[in-house]
Amino acid sequence: MYKIKDFSVYSAKAKLEKPISDATHTLTEISFLVLRIEVENGIIGESYLLSFQYSPNAILGALKDVGNMVIGAQVNETLKVFDKVNHANEYFGLEGINRWAQAAFNIAMWDAWCKILKQPIWKILGTYKTEIPIYGSGGWISYTPEELIDEVIGYKSRGFKSVKIKVGKPDWKEDLERLRMVRAAVGNEIGIMMDANQGMTVPNSLQLAMAAKDLNIYWFEEPINHTDFQGFQILKNQAGISLAMGEREYSTLPLRELLQLNAIDIWQPDILRLGGVEAWRDSAALAGAFNIPVLPHYYKDYDIPLLCTIPNGAGAESFDWIDPLIDYPLQIINGMATPNNRPGWGFSFKDEFLTELK
């Protein structure tokens, strides 16, 4: 078997004309950290994480710390390495920035291992389907009405069947007006979802959900703080709308709590926060045991292949941010995405967009 010989970390940035905001954050850059591991036989495994402008030194340090633990491991020993990193990171905490670094190496190891096997990951893990619905995401609170409508019309013209927009204005009635504008712009045949990014209270979330019933909103994502399980239960019982969450979670414990309270309708795992491939699939299996569909957060180029390997994979989120930076972007036709048929994850960042970090 082949051992991991070395690793390197790079930064990359997507084009952003001006800052964008949701209910809780303002993003001044769309940036990524790209990890490459080198295997003894020369194979390169790659992964990336969405970093924005946050804690660049901290996450780079975490990646270096995990990398020093991973060098010398067999490239297929993803679970063994995961436990080793867990043990080492327990002192400072298993959640947060340490988990992101742990996941980055897990994802890169899977990429390298599947490249050695000369197969895409969705074939190695076992295939359930080969086509996944995908929705257009964005609708930032900072958008003008014209920018909002341009974006959703753009998604519709590209064949997307659903769009998601941000809510969480200081006055929820402004959110309702924006939702009404979107519905008028895209018509009744396009699904609409709304995402508060934890920026609302239970009363305001309930008022918005009730007022928006005639707009046929598919789901309400992260209406309140992700740790307010009882708040989710209240909304589930009273709002009359499907509730989605999961992107902030570093384990399946919150999912378990919400399932016990019957307070979740859609599970949205984030592969970097959860810890990588096995953790993502474990969470999907738990959701599946309760007939909860999986619609993951952000990482479509990882999520589409993984969704093809589970029976309760219902869809994925689409941003275009990395598409100009990689060699083989996902193919999306009429709102459906197909996994890349190349070995590993099927894509790599182009060298000309990378700056190595020391």
Per residue in 21-57, pLDDT tens? 999 999 999 999 999 999 999 999 999 999 999 999 9
Buried b (16+ CB within 10 A) or exposed e, 25-59: eebeebbbbbbbbbbeeebbbbbbbbbeeeeeeeb
Contact 126, 55 (CB under 8 A): no
- State the residue range of the domain holding 211: 123-338
Strand 20-21 with 26-27, pairing = antiparallel
Report the distance separating Cα 150 and Cα 182, nearest Å: 10
pLDDT for position 65: 96
What mean pLDDT do residues 259-281 have?
98
> Is residue 56 located within the same domain as residue 24?
yes
> Is residue 158 located within the same domain as residue 293?
yes
* 347 located within any domain: no
Q: Which two tokens stand for residue 214?
A: 């005639």
pLDDT for position 216: 95
> Is residue 191 located within the same domain as residue 103?
no
pLDDT for position 1: 72
> Is residue 96 located within the same domain as residue 149?
no
Sign of CA dihedral 233, 234, 235, 241: positive
> Is residue 54 located within the same domain as residue 129?
no
Helix axes 202-211, 229-238, angle to 10 degrees: 20
Tokens 């979670």 found at:
249
Band (pLDDT 50/70/90 cuts) for residue 343 is: very high
Q: Which two tokens stand for residue 42?
A: 């020369």
* 237 located within any domain: yes
Contact 164, 195 (CB under 8 A): yes
Question: pLDDT exceeding 90 applies to what percent of the chain?
Answer: 99
Task: Identify the DSSP state of 191.
Answer: E
pLDDT for position 115: 98
pLDDT for position 107: 98
Tokens 């490249």 found at:
115
Task: Identify the DSSP state of 119.
Answer: S
* 343 located within any domain: no
Report the distance separating Cα 315 and Cα 270, nearest Å: 14
pLDDT for position 185: 97
Tokens 């809510």 found at:
167
> Is residue 61 located within the same domain as residue 144?
no
For residue 215, pLDDT beyond 90: yes
pLDDT for position 200: 98
> Is residue 131 located within the same domain as residue 200?
yes
pLDDT for position 138: 96
Closest CA to 165 of 195, 135, 204, 185: 195
Q: Which residues contact 145 (CB under 8 A, 6 or more apart)?
A: 178, 181
* 31 located within any domain: yes
Q: Which two tokens stand for residue 156?
A: 């519709």
Output the domain CATH number for residue 106.
Answer: 3.30.390.10
For residue 17, pLDDT beyond 80: yes
> Is residue 314 located within the same domain as residue 205?
yes
pLDDT for position 89: 93
* 148 located within any domain: yes
Contact 253, 238 (CB under 8 A): no
Give the tens place of pLDDT for each residue, 63-118: 999 999 999 999 999 999 999 999 999 999 999 999 999 999 999 999 999 999 99
> Is residue 179 located within the same domain as residue 314?
yes
State the chain's mean pLDDT as an integer: 97
What mean pLDDT do residues 298-316 have?
98
> Is residue 138 located within the same domain as residue 112?
no
* 239 located within any domain: yes
* 305 located within any domain: yes
* CA dist 156 → 9, 152, 189, 217, 282 (Å): 37, 6, 10, 16, 34
Output the domain CATH number for residue 217.
Answer: 3.20.20.120
pTM as predicted? 0.96
Q: Work out how many domains the chain is built from and give that number.
A: 2
* 346 located within any domain: no
pLDDT for position 335: 96
